[in-house]
Structure 1
């Protein structure tokens, strides 16, 4: 599974407030996004991990479409008349999803502007530490395989690139999260480690600093009239070890 995720610049107010980040996730009509933009080939995120991952557990915080809750969270955070420019990569399916984000945020009173650009342009700006509010981009967490702890460490860590983009690593919640992640990595008992990973994924979901909106299906195809023995993988690529021409 691939995903569309949002990155918030936590140094740009009001995105330092977890209630604002949560509000914007609750506002998004993810079912509409899946049906309209992804033609049914995807699922709203119910964890950082997709449901096919062996380490998946439904997160304690799931952002089902709830515009009333989104408005209430913004009020609780003292935020009104919010205007957002979404800096986004111009990957075709991401661009297809963006109008749903805009209409969803507009519907809760957040004036939203879309700014899709070449992927290199987006991340060059972030590498240069230019100011931004929210970035929408695509990722495949399974690119390194299905190890949940490895996937999470790629995205969350005190010195990794993604946390540099979010500017969140110094937050007390982040520092505790990184400690919990390292403890899970060192845990030798597989069952205990799985539970520890699932617990810290709950923190990631609650904080919604870098978090998926939807998971979409990765398509794999071949001509079965000409090739046999090919197997699709649960991560990018195909298994050709038993492939044969017919």
Structure 2
């Protein structure tokens, strides 16, 4: 057997981090961010971070969307493994593991001093419970990532053996995402309102429409956090978010929602700007499951109708990267497919004429988030030039968008940022997923990539990604940038977005 304390399929390049934050509770809502103290008592180090998308609830086992794991994963909930800033799989609740020669059996050696926030010790029984619970009780589509598991067996209190149905290149990576989160056997009764994990922070309070408060877990088994309390504050308006930082109401803007506003933070004595990339693909989804986009000619016409550089410059101030597919440059199977559909409105019109689809009118239902609304206006203008009228309907995110677009697939066009890492198989490998893309050849390539050698995985994934791009299963507008602004008092901000979580464990504040 091979001993694997650290596994990665990512190249050694930086990937950037999407901001997320946590914060105070009632005391912060109307006050400035900072430290608090009681007379004669210790100072409480508080970090307050601004966000734009509040969770619908706190249960990511039954609710799709990235806002919940962004706040809770790694911070409140931990898995056996996690991703480091280079995208490498590193130990967390499992301090080491071994993989059998046939690549089907993983033996995990657990840390022996972890406890849940409720006081219960973390043991192998919780691992068995958590992994088995994915298939039994989870309802979100991402649960399929653990379908490859055949059985989970407790060897002793701190050793677990997981046997797969067949070798899987993606399984351990998936265990670093939300499906790998470990739950207390006695702590799952009210996950929507009371998350209980082993992490360095524990949940304190959720003021709906305003903030989520976490505080440092005094019984945490690992290195102590650099702050005592974190507050996630939620803003609907970019101006309000920026003003909160300018006025001292928050310490960090987790994701800049108006890139043209960065000039406000030019005072380097007060502010720092973190800029890079992410694994988030801003996707123009085309509903492959109903007319007119069940016709590949119409889908291709849309891709030819879009001037991607102009869109990026107009909608997001040129921040981000054009990629042409559902694969970010940080993945080993990335290839630049931006040349597959160069801007060519004449070709777009010819394809629409060939399909008998001139003068189309389509429902353009988007998340009411700044990047989506900005990009949608550009898309609407560009496709109108080739004869497509796109009626934009912003939907409240996450609740209405998840219901109408994601769950019911009641849309023609949509825009959303797919922030989950390596999500191409989930999005385009399941005909029931909201793009309704159904390609047996692609599904076969995904399966062969997962079961093959690492070299075969890369080759097969490249093939699948190219077919999806050529098939115009969607249009890939741009790779979302990581743009954060913080006061200079904040240290340890992650430059790379490598997972669904914003890892708070390395942050501190002077």
TM over 0.5, shorter chain: yes
- Correspondence for 2:446: 181
CA distance, structure 1, for counterparts of residue 441 and residue 473 of structure 2: 15
- Correspondence for 1:167: 436
Structure 1 position 158 matched with structure 2 position 430: yes
The 1:203/1:58 distance shift into structure 2, 3 A limit, reads same
CA distance, structure 2, for counterparts of residue 127 and residue 216 of structure 1: 20
Structure 1, 94-103 or 132-141: larger mean CA deviation: 132-141
Structure with more helix by fraction:
1
Q: Displacement, 1:6?
A: 2.1
Structure 1 position 93 matched with structure 2 position 368: no
Q: TM-score scaled by structure 2?
A: 0.42
Q: Displacement, 1:138?
A: 2.2
Q: Indicate if the aligned counterparts of 1:60 and 1:202 stay in contact, CA closer than 8 A.
A: no
Cα deviation per residue 1:54-75 (whole Å; 9 max; x = unaligned)?
A: 4311238633222112112212
The 1:92/1:183 distance shift into structure 2, 3 A limit, reads same
- Correspondence for 1:133: 412
Structure 2 counterparts to residues 96-245 of structure 1, below 5 A: 96-119=374-397, 120-126=399-405, 129=408, 131-142=410-421, 150-158=422-430, 163-169=432-438, 174-188=439-453, 190-223=454-487, 225-235=488-498
CA distance, structure 2, for counterparts of residue 158 and residue 231 of structure 1: 32
Aligned pairs, number: 230
- Correspondence for 1:147: none
Cα deviation per residue 1:108-142 (whole Å; 9 max; x = unaligned)?
A: 11122211121221221246636432222222143
- Correspondence for 1:83: 361
Structure 1 position 69 matched with structure 2 position 347: yes
> In structure 1, the residue corresponding to 2:366 is in which secondary structure?
strand
The 1:141/1:70 distance shift into structure 2, 3 A limit, reads farther
Q: Indicate if the aligned counterparts of 1:228 and 1:244 stay in contact, CA closer than 8 A.
A: yes
Q: List gaps (5 residues or longer) in structure 2.
A: 1-277
> In structure 2, the residue corresponding to 1:84 is in which secondary structure?
strand
The 1:125/1:199 distance shift into structure 2, 3 A limit, reads same
CA distance, structure 2, for counterparts of residue 141 and residue 63 of structure 1: 25
- Correspondence for 1:145: none
Q: How large is the RMSD of aligned CA atoms in angstroms?
A: 2.5
> In structure 1, the residue corresponding to 2:347 is in which secondary structure?
helix
Point out which structure has higher relative CO (alpha carbons under 8 A, 6+ apart). 1
Q: Indicate if the aligned counterparts of 1:232 and 1:239 stay in contact, CA closer than 8 A.
A: no
Q: Displacement, 1:100?
A: 0.7
- Correspondence for 1:7: 285
Structure 1 position 53 matched with structure 2 position 331: yes
CA distance, structure 1, for counterparts of residue 396 and residue 492 of structure 2: 38
CA distance, structure 1, for counterparts of residue 406 and residue 283 of structure 2: 18
Structure 1, 56-65 or 234-243: larger mean CA deviation: 234-243
Structure with more strand by fraction:
2
CA distance, structure 2, for counterparts of residue 106 and residue 204 of structure 1: 25
Q: Indicate if the aligned counterparts of 1:88 and 1:117 stay in contact, CA closer than 8 A.
A: yes
CA distance, structure 2, for counterparts of residue 235 and residue 130 of structure 1: 28
